[in-house]
Structure 1
Amino acid sequence: MENVNQLLGIEDSQLTPFLKKLTIYTSGGPFLDGYILTIIGMALLQLEPELHLDAFWTGMIGAAALIGLLVGGAIFGYVTDLIGRQVMYQIDLVAIIILSVAEMFISTPLELVIVRFLIGIAVGADYPIATALLTEFSPRKYRGAMMGLLASAWYAGAVVAGIAGYLLLDMGPDAWRWMLGSSAIPSIILVAGRWGTPESPRWLVSKGRTEEALSVIQQVYGTHASLADLDEPTTEKTRFSKLLEPDYFRKILFVGLFWTFQVAPCFAIYTFAPQILEAFHLGSGNDWIIGYAIINIFFLTGTIASMSLVNHFGRRPLIIWSFIFMTLSMLVLGVVSGASAWLIFLGFAVYAFFSGPPSALDWIYPNELFPTNVRASAVGVVTAISRIGAAIGTFALPYSLQTIGIGNTMLVSTLLTFLGLIVCIAWAPETKGLTLKETSILTLNKK
C-alpha cells in the first residue's frame, strides 16, 4: 500500500484505514448537531407543560443551540487556523459532555436557553475544526464521499435521536431530562475515538513546521512521501481580513447564502416536527413519531446517495437540481396543505431526499474553495451565516404556525429554497476532480 500511495501521490492516494477512521470520527460533530437539534423537539412535548412555555420561550429554546453554533463557528474557526486543528479536536467534545449533563438539572426556561446556547457553541466549534482536518488529509477522488459522510452523520444523529426519544418517552414525567442528557453518551465515544489523531500536515506546512509535517505524512501515507506531494505553500500567515478580499468574499456569500436558504426551513422542520405533523393531521399521541422516523430515513438516504452522486454528476448540476426538487416539494406542501396524508407525506419525502446533496455540499464547497491558512475561518464564517437564518426560522416557526397557518408557512419555505436555487445558478462552481490547490484558486465565474 505504501508504494502504491507514493506512486499516486497524496492527492491520489488510496483510502487507507487511517483515512477511514478519521472520516468516521470527524463525522461526530454533525452527528451530535443532528442529535441535539432533534432531541429537543421531542423533549419539548414534556417541557412545554412542565415549564409553562409560551411561543416566545419555545422559539428561544429551539433557536438557542443554533445561535450558539453561529458564535462557535465564527470564533473557533479562526482560532483553529491560528493554533491548529488537533488541539481543538478534543476540547469541544469535553465541553459537550459537561453541558449535556448540565441540561438534566435545569429548572427554568432561561437556564435551558443558556445551556443550549453553550452546547451550540461547542458543536459550532467542531465544524471548522473537524471538516478542515478531514479535508486536508483526504485524496481528491474520495473527498466528496468523505465529506458527504459528514452530512449523512447529521441525519444519522437525527434518526438516532428519534429512536432514543421514542424509547425514553415511557420513563415518566422526567423523561425530558434523560433525553437532553443522552447527548453525553455519543460525545464520550467520540472523545475516545479521536484520541491520538495527528495534526494536519497542510496546516503544519502553512506555519513553517515542515519537519513535523513530514513526520505526519510519512506516518499516514508511507515513508517515501514528501512535502512536495502536498503542493502546499509554506509559512502562509493567517489573516481573517483575507476573507474580505473580493474573490474570497464572493465565495463566502455563495456558500453562506445557499446554506442559509437550505437549512432555515430544514432546521425549523426538524426542531418542531411534532407540531408540524400535528398541523398536517398526520398523527395523534405518539403516532407522529413513526411518520417522523420514516421522513428522517429519506433525509438520511439522500445524503448517503450524495456520496456517490457528487462525483458522478459533479457539484454544480447536483446542487442546482436538488434545489429545484426541494422548491417544488415545498410548493406542493404549501398549496395542498389540506390534501390526503399520502400526498403530504410524499411532499415531505421528496423534500427530505433532495436535501441530501446540498447538505453534503455545505461541507464540500467551503473546504475546497479556501486555502489552508483560512480554511477553518471560512468554514466558521459560513456556518455562522447559515445559522443566523436557521435560528430566525426556528424562532419564528411557532409564531408562523399560530398566525398564518401551516400552508402559508410552507409557502415561505418555498420562497427560501427558491432563493437558494437562484444563488446556485448564479455562482455554483464545479470542483470535481481538482486538487485542493486548484479548487482554492477558482473564481466563481468559472463553471
Structure 2
Amino acid sequence: MSTSLIDDARFRPFHKKMFALTAGGQFLDGYLLSIVGVVVLGMSADLDMSAGQEGLIGAAALVGLFAGGLIFGRITDRIGRQLLFTLHFVVIAVASIASMFVQDSTLLVILRFVIGVALGADYAIGSALLSEWLPTAQRGRVMGMLIMAWFVGATTAYVVGYALINLMDADAWRWALGSAAIPAVAFIIARIGTPESPRWLVSRGRVEEAQAVLRRVYGEEATPEAVEALVADETAQGLGFAEVFRGDYLKRTAFVGLFWLLQIVPLFAIYTFGPTVLSAFGMSDGGDSVLGSALISMLFLIGCLPALRLIDTLGRRRLIIWSFGLMVVPLAVLGFVPTAPVAVILACFCAYALFSGGPSILEFIYPTELFPTEVRATAVGIGTAISRIGAAIGTYLLPIGLDRIGVGNTMLIMAAITLLGFAVCVTLAPETRGRRLAEASGAAPAESTPTLPQPAGTGTGTGTH
C-alpha cells in the first residue's frame, strides 16, 4: 500500500487543536438552536406571538443554515477554508447581542436567519478543513465526535436557560439569546492563525504553499517525496458545482442529503421545542420540561459513544441502517400511546436519543469521505442545505401540529419520516471504512484491501479528547 504523509501520520497535538477549533462551531450550533426552545414560552408571552410566529422563530435559523451551507460551501471550495474559518463567528456574536434588544418577532426572525447563515457556512468550512488534515485511522471517530460538541452545546443551552429563567424571570429570554456571544468571541480569538488545508492548496495548483504548510505542521517529515505523493492524490480534475449532481456523485449527493434530512427533521423539531413537546405529554410548562429536555440532550450525547466505536468495527453502512431501524420504535410508541405514564414517555425519548447516535456522527463523516477536495465543502454545504430546509419545515409545523392534530399524530408522522430514512440507507448507503480520503472520495484508485493503519505512538480517536 502506498503511504501518505497526512493519511498515515500519527495523531498529534495539532490534530487535537484542529478538532477543538472545529468543534467550537458545532457547540455554538447546538447552543443557538436549542436556547430558543428553552425560552420560547417566555419570549412568546412577552412579544405576544402566535403558534405560527413561534414556528417561524424556530425555523428561521434553519432556513439560514440552508442558505449558508449552499452558498458558502461553494465559496469555500473556490477561495479556501482558512480565510472564512473565523469571519462568520463575528456575525454570530453581533446578531446574538442584537437579539437582546428586539421588540417584535419580525426582527428576531431576521436575526435568527442571519445567525443560521453563519452556522451553515461553518458546517462546510470546518468539516472540510478538519477532514483534510486527519489521519485515516482516526478520521471516522474524530469527525464523528463533532456532533458530540453539538449536543454539549445543546445541553449547555438548557442548563443556562434554566438558570436564567429561575434567576431573572421576565427578561431571561433576552439574556439567554445574547449569551451565545460569549463562546463566539472566544472561538474568534482561538481560530486566528489556523493553517490552510494542504489538500486544497494542491488541488488549486499552489504546491509550494502546501509544502510550507506541511513543514509548519510535520517538520522534517514533509519531504519532497511526501509532497509529490499528495500531489498525486489531489491533482485537480476540474470538478465544479454541477459535478455533484452527475454520475456516481449524484447518487452520493442524494444519499447524504436524504439521510441527513430524514434524521434531522424529527431530531431538530424535538430539540427546538423540547420543553413544549414534553409539556404536551403532560409535564409542566416550567422547570420540569426544561430539565427533562436537558436529560434527553445528554442522552443524545451518550448515544454517540458506542457509535464512535462501531463505525470502524460494524462499519458505516450497517451502523446507519440499524440505527434508523431502531429509531422508529420509540417514536411509534409515543405516537400510539401518547397518554402513557411520564416515565414511559421519557424512556421513549431517551431510547430515541441513544439510537440516533449512529446517523448523528455520520452526518460529518459521510459527506467529507464521499467527495474529492475540489467539491468537498460544496457537497457538505449541499447536504447541510437539504437537511436544514426540511428541518425548517418540520420545526415550523411542529407547534402547529401539536395544536391541531395532537401530540400522538405528530409523533406518528415523525416515525414515518424516520422509517423512510431507513429505506434510503438500505438502498443507498456505501461503505468507506478504512479507506484513504482520496480513495473513499473516488479521487484516487482504490487499494486492494481497505485497512486501518495504526502508526506507532498513535492513540485512539476517542481517547485523545
1:106 to 102, 106, 112: 102
Distance change (3 Å), C-alpha of 1:52 and 1:285? same
Is 2:222 aligned against 1:212?
A: no
Judge conservation of contact 2:326–2:355 (CA < 8 Å) in 1. yes
Note the alpha carbon deviations across 1:368-424, whole angstroms, 9 max, x for none: 000000000010011000001100000000110011111110000000000000000
Aligned residue runs from structure 1 range 131-280, under 5 A: 131-169=127-165, 170-225=167-222, 226-230=226-230, 231-280=232-281
Aligned to 2:10: 14
Instruction: After TM superposition, give the deviation of residue 79 of structure 1 in Å.
Output: 0.3
Note the alpha carbon deviations across 1:53-80, whole angstroms, 9 max, x for none: 0011111001000000000000000000
Q: Tell me the secondary structure at the aligned position of residue 287 of structure 2.
A: coil
Q: What is the TM-score with the length of structure 1 in the denominator?
A: 0.95
Instruction: After TM superposition, give the deviation of residue 96 of structure 1 in Å.
Output: 0.7
Instruction: After TM superposition, give the deviation of residue 7 of structure 1 in Å.
Output: 7.9
Aligned to 1:3: none
Instruction: After TM superposition, give the deviation of residue 244 of structure 1 in Å.
Output: 1.9
Structure 2 Cα separation of the partners of residues 282 and 229 of structure 1: 59
Aligned residue runs from structure 1 range 305-344, under 5 A: 305-344=306-345
Judge conservation of contact 2:276–2:289 (CA < 8 Å) in 1. no
Is 2:60 aligned against 1:59?
A: no
Letter in 2 for 1:228: E
Q: What is the TM-score with the length of structure 2 in the denominator?
A: 0.92
Where in structure 2 are there 5+ consecutive unaligned residues? 444-449, 451-465
Q: Tell me the secondary structure at the aligned position of residue 54 of structure 2.
A: helix
Instruction: After TM superposition, give the deviation of residue 238 of structure 1 in Å.
Output: 4.9
1:29 to 25, 29, 32: 25
Aligned to 1:84: 80
Q: Tell me the secondary structure at the aligned position of residue 10 of structure 1.
A: coil
Structure 2 Cα separation of the partners of residues 441 and 209 of structure 1: 22
Is 2:84 aligned against 1:94?
A: no
Q: Tell me the secondary structure at the aligned position of residue 222 of structure 1.
A: helix
Judge conservation of contact 1:10–1:221 (CA < 8 Å) in 2. no
Aligned to 1:434: 435
Structure 2 Cα separation of the partners of residues 278 and 191 of structure 1: 37
Instruction: After TM superposition, give the deviation of residue 122 of structure 1 in Å.
Output: 0.3
Note the alpha carbon deviations across 1:133-165, whole angstroms, 9 max, x for none: 000001111011111111111111100101110
Q: Tell me the secondary structure at the aligned position of residue 27 of structure 1.
A: helix
Judge conservation of contact 1:254–1:428 (CA < 8 Å) in 2. yes
Where in structure 1 are there 5+ consecutive unaligned residues? 1-5
Judge conservation of contact 1:207–1:237 (CA < 8 Å) in 2. no
Note the alpha carbon deviations across 1:205-255, whole angstroms, 9 max, x for none: 000000010111122223222213434233444511111212111111101
Judge conservation of contact 1:82–1:238 (CA < 8 Å) in 2. no
Aligned to 2:463: none
Instruction: After TM superposition, give the deviation of residue 8 of structure 1 in Å.
Output: 7.2
Aligned to 2:401: 400
Letter in 2 for 1:82: R
Instruction: After TM superposition, give the deviation of residue 284 of structure 1 in Å.
Output: 4.4
